[in-house]
């Protein structure tokens, strides 16, 4: 006699990890980055040196501020800021509030970040200098400075 097969087979549903299980707050080392040159640092032997995890996190914070959201297909839509939209605000105070919001949102994506606060702005005719403090897991608070060109 032929064996009967179940029309609706049962399938085990995989366990979904919670966000706290998916992301850890360990600072992982990375290659060193030269912010002024916009490229990897190199030794005399043309090798790319490694930075410790905390330094890599600090560089990530700065690079995130300078990266326009949705400008690079390699990054998810969570990475970057919305500077172009912030520039379109009606006055300086509105631009400052928009910059505060977009920078905070961008850096808080990283699970190592606890808070972004104490923003200060210095305006020039074609740019704005923004400074703020980042508090993160197991690291003393540090200041991030960025100069954003206005179009």
Predicted confidence pLDDT, tens digits, the chain (151 residues): 556 677 777 888 877 766 555 567 788 889 998 888 888 999 999 999 999 989 999 999 999 999 888 887 777 777 888 888 888 888 899 999 999 999 999 999 998 999 999 999 999 988 999 999 999 988 999 999 999 888 7
Q: What is the pLDDT of residue 73?
A: 76
Q: What is the pLDDT of residue 105?
A: 93
Give the count of beta carbons closer than 10 Å to the beta carbon of residue 129.
13
User: At which residue do the structure tokens 């920078």 appear?
Assistant: 103
CA nearest to 66, candidates 147, 150, 151 = 147
DSSP annotation string for 54-96: HHHHHHHHHHHHHSBTTS-TTS-TTSSB-HHHHHTSSSHHHHH
| 108 three-state secondary structure | helix
Q: What is the pLDDT of residue 89?
A: 87
CA distance 133 to 8: 56
Q: Are 127 and 117 in contact (CB under 8 A)?
A: no
Element (H, E) at 53: helix 53-66
CA distance 57 to 52: 9
CATH annotation of 26-70+77-149: 3.10.450.40
Q: What is the pLDDT of residue 78?
A: 79
Q: Classify the C-alpha dihedral 65-71-74-76 as positive or negative.
A: positive
Q: What is the pLDDT of residue 18?
A: 64
pTM: 0.79
CA distance 79 to 71: 10
User: At which residue do the structure tokens 């032997």 appear?
Assistant: 45
Q: What is the pLDDT of residue 21?
A: 52
């Amino acid at each position: 006699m032929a064996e009967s097969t179940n029309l609706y087979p049962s399938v085990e549903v995989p366990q979904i990890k919670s966000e706290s299980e998916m992301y850890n707050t360990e600072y992982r080392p990375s290659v060193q980055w030269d912010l002024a040159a916009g490229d990897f640092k190199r030794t005399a032997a043309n090798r790319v040196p490694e930075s410790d995890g905390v330094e890599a996190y600090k560089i990530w914070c700065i690079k995130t501020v300078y990266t326009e959201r949705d400008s690079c297909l390699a990054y998810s839509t969570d990475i970057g800021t919305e500077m172009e939209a912030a520039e379109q605000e009606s006055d300086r105070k509105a631009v400052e509030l928009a910059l505060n919001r977009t920078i905070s949102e961008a850096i808080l994506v990283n699970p190592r970040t606890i808070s972004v606060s104490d923003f200060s702005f210095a305006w020039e005719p074609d740019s704005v200098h923004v400074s703020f403090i980042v508090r993160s897991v197991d690291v003393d608070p540090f200041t991030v400075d960025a100069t954003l060109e206005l179009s």
